[in-house]
Chain A
Amino acid sequence: MTTSFVGSSIQRREDDRLLRGEGTFVDDIAMDNTLHAAFVRSEAAHALITGIDVTRALEIDGVVAVLTYDDLAGTPLAAPLRVSQPHPAIRHARTPYPLARDEVHHVGQPIAMVVARDRYIAEDAAAVVHVDYQHLPVAVDLVGAARGEDGPAHSDMDGNVYASLSEHVGDVDAVLAKAEHVFEYDLRYERAAGTPLEGRGLLATFDELGGRMRLWDSTQAPMMVCHGLAPLLGLEPEQIEVISPDVGGGFGTKAFQLYPEEALVPWAARWLGAPLKWIEDRKEAFVGSNQLRSQVTHVKVAVDGEGHLLALDVRYLHDNGAFCQFGILVPSVTASELSGQYRIPNLRFSFDAVYTNTTQCSPYRGSGQPYATFVVERMMDWVARDLGIDRAEIRRRNFIPPQGMPYDTGLSFPHGNRSVYDSGQYPAQFETLLEAIGYDGFAAEKAAAAAEGRRIGLGLTCYVDVGGTGPYESTKVTVLPDGSVSVVAATSDTGQGHETMYSQLVADQLGVPMERVRVTTGDSRRTQYGFGTWGSRTAAVGGSSAVQAAATVATKAKAIAARLLEVDAGDLELADGAVRVKGAAHVAVPLTELVIPARFGRTSGGESSPGLTAASYWSPSAMIFSSGAHGVVVEIDPETYDLNILRYVIAHDCGKVINPMLVRGQVLGGFAHGIADAFYERRHYDNAGQLLNQNLMGYLVPFASEIPQVEVRHMESSSPVSIHGVKGAGEAGSVPVPTAIASAIEDALGFPIDAMPQSPLTLFELAQRHGR
């Protein structure tokens, strides 16, 4: 192989159109005679609907239809949406009807859909649909809901716990009973949300003659939407074209399916016989798009006198909002990483998943992982404190060593895998971090600052981050008649630069220039089997399938060329758009001349399928884990309790790197989400279940002025699981940040930080409580 694009910071192929304003986001697509939808959404967190009056709405000129539950009777949309991530532990599955039937369970739940000539008119009409509510008890607080003191969130349930799961390794109780030291801690994390800048969006059109539905959907998982829609529309997946065009960020929010609107808009487009568009506005996004993060935990840990972890018992509550379409995915992900980077021979978790009358939850960048990191790493700081051992030293004593890899935590991971760490160099990574953040000199630095009346603190955290989540991902690679190469991947790009990434991988395998590779992602017209872009999985799993498909094409090309050139296939290589003899580049056949022989199967040298084409449905045989360590020095203003980040270091190992620029982009972008999660963003609900900050002025997404510069140190432990050694980088930047910030604030202020996010107000209140 002469070319090597993998490993280079190649500039993005996506950028040119996006910089010129020539991207194609859903709302940029215009079709003649398009109708526009707006939704009437519940204003009550929990209520019975006693009446819906649409009379005034229908009187408005330009209104085409107003649909309520009754209009869906007899159709597949009259049933609750499916649980798309089922699990045997779910005892009380509750999912929404696309339009509420008789009971609403959170503010923002769709009750009626208005269709009109334009969006302005649709919103006018939605505003005059009158809904009568009979209010019911509301569950908002997670602990109160779990105890059954609040709610129930669903009037047909006695309490709010819908699923419980427990798992253990070793004998936790026996070790806790006789250990030298047992400590107990409580921790809490609050609600936030992915908040992509482009809201969700849909444009559906049904071709009656061809019997085909086409849906442009701002989604991370178009293939899942395609298969999810099929039974609702009474069509085969092959008849449903789900296209994810340019997508303005996702962060998990758009990996969910199906949202009620995702079912209603295509169904109504067919029913009305006209293209139908719905573009989520920001207020809808705040109440109608999924959220995440609220969990409450009690930890019991047994250690010996030297701080070695002997047993860990973690009990937690997980708030899933009003419904459980994604089952218990998030708390299960939390569970799978409760070993952190450490050897813990005896481990047990048990969680209750709980309904509240708030917007539904599903993964947001990191899913349950930020919480696992928070629990394990705050615990490490506190055990060190309680034993009088240095914070760095206690971690050194417990790390899983590189020679211990692969390491089986004994825990399960959702989708049937075991939580086995494939590789990593945790101790070396940590020492790199300590050196870069200046850990050894920090005590003197802190004392000098204190002498000036300044409060500074250093925070530390390690983390693992799952990358190569299965079950599989698909890519089809084809050499086209003109010698260019088509790559069709089932994943969907939401800003990561997949067109560039896939081009690099495939160009290397086939020895062609990158500009000869054309990439199609997220288009169910081209492939229907795949899962989408979430869980830091595309480069590792989608990338492996691309490499495997391209390698198969290369093998086919060599087999045919070997016959034509009358040489052994083993002596051939692909380079410069041709198959040539190694060491004799002039003995070569261009790829273009292999396309026709390949298509006539019998001359293709006994290959199993015709054509210079191959599809791969590559499955990881085990889990893939990235890892890293974060260190931060903060200063807290003694008067205002504002946070100033003085320096931040990320030591990061995501395996083999395909494009360092793109990985850095993922890490820094994730980092900003982490800072947001630590100190700025929180969805505030009042006791009545009303979201108090329903816009970007009340919900504080950080600006450039809040995000500091970061020093990133890359390490590379190639994954033995993925074909190309890649692990995944999408979430790792954000997962550990709130934990590192909590650790640093605690160091600066001298009282425990056991809840996140914090803010100047909460720190002030904590300081009062601790008499500072």
Chain B
Amino acid sequence: MRVSPGEQVTVKLSVNGIVHDVAVESRWLLSDVLRHQLGLTGTHVGCENGACGCCTVIVSGQPARACLLFAIQLEGAEIETVESLAAPDGELHPLQESFRRHHGLQCGFCTPGQLMNAKPLYRQAPEMPDCELRSALSGMICRCTGYQGIVDAVRDAARIEDEREDAK
């Protein structure tokens, strides 16, 4: 398919389990389309060159930086954003709950990206040595917390989840 500059084409974007028909220009970033076309403003934009990690979403199971992807590339992909984390009844995801308990956020700007980055790895976190966990979380800038709360939160999320399961 050849798309001219300025021309809009309709793509099917699967975001948080809902398929949207979205008209996009070829150069529109996934981060912009999520925020401004779909109104999913939980995905934040910190640098637009892939360095800070704020805009991290999950694309087909893997964390990815939404500012480094064009929306037009993503027909057929499964995109998950921070808005998908809490349960339908509103209960916070164990990761979200853990960030709250461990003061893993201050201004909250990097938080959605931190959560989506940690989602595929938090089940393994309790077994990881501190340096390994910090290394797994690196590439994600938080300018407020000094990271200790984030490290503690990711490490403790699986336990919170297991506790909830046991209570059911």
Contacts and interface: CB of A to CB of B under 8 A. Distances in A.
Interface of A: 11-12, 14-23, 25, 27-28, 30, 61, 120, 195-199, 246-249, 251, 281-282, 494-497, 661-662, 664-665, 668-672, 695-697, 701, 703-707, 709-710, 733
Contact of B44 (A15, A198, A282, A710): A198
A249 B144 contact: yes
A664 B140 CA distance: 21
A16 B108 CA distance: 10
Contacts of B6: 61
B78 interface: no
27 contacts: A11-B100, A15-B99, A15-B108, A18-B111, A19-B111, A21-B83, A22-B42, A197-B110, A197-B142, A198-B107, A248-B44, A248-B108, A248-B110, A249-B106, A249-B143, A251-B143, A495-B144, A496-B106, A665-B149, A668-B148, A697-B51, A703-B139, A704-B150, A705-B134, A706-B138, A710-B146, A710-B148
A497 B106 contact: yes
A197 B109 contact: yes
A196 B141 CA distance: 10
Nearest to B83: A21
B141 A701 contact: yes
Size range of the chain B interface in the assembly:
35 or more
Given A198-B107, A495-B106, A12 B143 contact: no
B135 A25 contact: no
Nearest to B45: A27
Given A248-B44, A668-B149, A671-B146, A11 B141 contact: no
Given A19-B100, A27-B41, A704-B138, 10 more contacts: A18-B111, A20-B86, A21-B83, A120-B25, A197-B52, A197-B54, A197-B110, A661-B103, A665-B145, A672-B146
Contacts of A710: 146, 148
Given A20-B96, A27-B45, A282-B46, A15 B105 contact: yes
A703 B92 CA distance: 26
Nearest to B95: A19
B107 A12 contact: no
Contacts of B101: 11
Contacts, number: 176
Contacts of A17: 108
Contacts of A494: 107
Minimum-distance CB pairs A-B, first 10: A21-B42, A18-B108, A495-B107, A248-B109, A495-B106, A672-B146, A668-B146, A703-B138, A696-B51, A21-B82
Given A249-B143, A495-B144, A703 B137 contact: yes
Contact of B108 (A23, A196, A709, A733): A23
A695 B108 CA distance: 22
Nearest to A118: B36
Residue of B25, B110, B137, B148 ringed by the most chain A CB atoms within 10 A: B148
A23 B35 CA distance: 13
Contact of A282 (B40, B48, B108): B48
B115 interface: yes
B86 A120 contact: no
A755 B96 CA distance: 42
Interface string B77-89: 0000111011000
Residue of A282, A661, A669, A695 ringed by the most chain B CB atoms within 10 A: A669
Nearest to A247: B107
Contacts of B85: 20
B158 interface: no
A695 B47 CA distance: 8
B70 interface: no
Interface in B11-62: 25, 27-28, 35-36, 39-49, 51-52, 54
B16 to A, nearest CB: 11
A20 B85 CA distance: 8
A710 B96 CA distance: 24
A668 B143 CA distance: 11
Nearest to B41: A28
A246 B140 contact: no
Contacts of B151: 704
A704 B134 contact: yes
Contacts of A703: 134, 137-141, 147
Contacts of A15: 99-100, 105, 108
B86 A696 contact: no
Contact of B109 (A12, A195, A249, A497): A249
B63 interface: no
Nearest to A696: B51
Interface in B113-151: 115, 130-131, 133-135, 137-151
A504 to B, nearest CB: 15
B143 A701 contact: yes
Contacts of A20: 42, 82-83, 85-86, 92, 96
Nearest to A493: B107
B111 A282 contact: no
B44 A668 contact: no
Nearest to A672: B146
Contact of B81 (A14, A21, A668, A704): A21
Contacts of B115: 19
Contact of B106 (A16, A25, A669, A706): A669
A282 B47 contact: yes
Nearest to B39: A30
Nearest to B102: A661
Nearest to A659: B103
Contacts of B54: 197
Contact of A21 (B41, B140, B141, B147): B41
B52 to A, nearest CB: 5
A23 B111 CA distance: 11
Contacts of A198: 44, 46, 107, 109
B103 A662 contact: yes
Contacts of B109: 23, 25, 196-198, 246, 248-249, 495
Nearest to B137: A704
Contacts of B82: 20-21
A705 B131 contact: yes
Contact of B49 (A14, A18, A196, A282): A282
A709 B48 contact: no
Residue of A16, A30, A246, A668 ringed by the most chain B CB atoms within 10 A: A668
A246 B107 contact: yes
A672 B143 CA distance: 8
Given A282-B46, A696-B141, A701-B141, A249 B107 contact: yes
A12 B100 contact: yes
Nearest to A15: B100
Contacts of A496: 106
Given A197-B109, A249-B144, A707-B146, A21 B45 contact: no
Nearest to A198: B109
Contact of B52 (A16, A23, A27, A696): A696
A670 B146 contact: yes
Given A15-B100, A19-B99, A695-B49, A707 B147 contact: yes
A673 B146 CA distance: 8
A249 B107 CA distance: 6
Nearest to A246: B108
B32 to A, nearest CB: 8
B49 A16 contact: no
Contacts of A695: 47, 49, 51
